[in-house]
Chain A
Amino acid sequence: MVRRALPSREELLEILDAVKDPEVPVLSVVELGIVRDAVAADDGVVVTITPTYSGCPAMHEIESEIRRALAADALGPVEIRTTYAPAWTTDWITDAARKKLEAYGIAPPGPADSSELIPLRRRATTVRCPYCQSHDTQQRSVFGSTACKSIWFCNECRQPFEEFKAI
């Protein structure tokens, strides 16, 4: 029997780059930082993932998509481990992925806020409209169609749009 060389971490991540987030299908689970590690051994593959939000309902589907993607390469049984520390942050989303988000119509996240006390009034942050690039926008709600997005409105092109919220 000819032994095949085990794939490297980079090669595994390349395979997993085909797995898209079901709620943001323009980004892969690797680009989002959900996949933290991938190791192949003789007895199978171990993929370590971290959830974006504690109650993210997409995690089950992401797990089964990861299994499906790896099954095609016949690498043996796939074990998926979930880790919570360090906690997922939008700061892990790469610049290239941010550009894809904006092109898809979702404003990319700003820097994550970690202040201890919550200010009485919201900071005056501006988010650029992904459709017309205007900064004349206002937040309508921190909570959007999924846990990871907030709802904004552009005063310039009169379009509601979503922002990938920074956490």
Chain B
Amino acid sequence: MTDSSSLQYLLRLGDDRLVLGHRLSEWCGHGPILEEDIALANIALDLIGEAALLLKLAGQLEGKGRDEDAIAYFRDATDYRNALIVELPIGDFAFTIMRQLLFGTFSLAQMDALQRSTNADLAGIASKAVKEARYHVRHSTQWVVTLGDGSDESHDRAQRALDELWRYTGELFLPDAIDQEAAASGFGVDPSTLADLWRAQVEPVLQAGKLTIPPVAYMQRGGRDGRHTEHLGHMLAEMQIVARSHPGAAW
């Protein structure tokens, strides 16, 4: 596998978690109850921690002296490689929780497989992340069932979130040349091989929550190539402003 492909592969892994971690951090101080405020901030911290490790490794493989902060704060939206689903605004609590279930279950399957990466550093990071993904999914699973099988209002909101988010799930499992090269060399995993496990985990949760998977004719895509929704640029502007206003600052 070429260095530039492994770099691209790691950017996808790191950017998914950095962007979702930042989105979740927007709940800090705004959670519906204190326990959930703490829970979402905790999950955000785990995801940003995982992103820091992955982007640091990306910088080392690139060999141009960029560390994880340089990669996170000094790239524009078109250079980000996250899937579209993680950059969408947080919406209401049901939307945030539904996204956590859909992405978190994908992340669990992905990190589980990456424990067997031929790159020892990536395998090590994955073996840590998989433990975190496990209790993240436990959290979102419990909430999706509670909301879906709850009051009319909570059920409607959970169903609306699923209707909106489902069209963004296809991109997670869509392999391209970089994924296939990563899988062939043993560095990474072909995301299409994770789809069955993902459905086996997600569908019973939705059923228990009396939620229906919407019929979707077209799956949104583009994030892996840097074609993003208009939301990412706004989010990055906020995330990057301090680092860009005071380059090299340390505290």
Contact = CB atoms under 8 A, between A and B. Distances in A.
B123 A85 contact: yes
Contacts of B71: none
A39 interface: no
A54 B138 contact: no
Interface stretch (B45-53, B77-85, B150-158, B223-231): B45-53
A165 B132 CA distance: 11
A81 B204 CA distance: 43
A43 interface: no
Contact of B53 (A84, A89, A143): A84
Contacts of B132: 53-54, 167
A140 interface: yes
Contacts of B142: 121-122
A39 to B, nearest CB: 20
Interface string A47-84: 00001011111000000000000000000000000011
Contact of A143 (B39, B141, B201): B39
Nearest to B144: A120
B7 to A, nearest CB: 19
Contacts of A131: none
- Chain A at the B interface: SS class: loop
Contacts of B46: 53-55, 147
Interface residues of B, number: 42
A88 B127 CA distance: 9
B135 A167 contact: yes
A112 B128 CA distance: 13
Contacts of A85: 120, 123-124, 127
A83 B135 contact: no
Contact of B135 (A56, A86, A87, A142): A142
Chain B interface, DSSP helix/strand/loop, else mixed: helix
A151 B134 CA distance: 18
Interface in A138-161: 140-145, 147, 151
A141 B141 contact: no
Find the residue from B52, B125, B134, B204 having the highest chain A CB count within 10 A.
Answer: B134
B135 A54 contact: no
B52 to A, nearest CB: 7
A97 to B, nearest CB: 20
A56 B120 contact: no
Nearest to B57: A84
Contact of A141 (B38, B49, B200): B38
Given A53-B46, A55-B45, A117 B200 contact: yes
Given A53-B128, A120-B204, 11 more contacts: A53-B45, A54-B53, A55-B49, A57-B45, A118-B137, A121-B142, A142-B139, A143-B35, A143-B41, A145-B38, A167-B135
Interface of A: 51, 53-57, 83-89, 112-113, 116-118, 120-122, 140-145, 147, 151, 165, 167
12 contacts: A51-B49, A53-B49, A54-B46, A54-B52, A55-B45, A85-B123, A87-B124, A89-B131, A118-B141, A122-B138, A141-B35, A145-B38
List the 8 closest pairs (A to B, CB-CB), nearest first: A55-B49, A84-B124, A54-B49, A85-B124, A141-B35, A143-B39, A87-B127, A143-B42
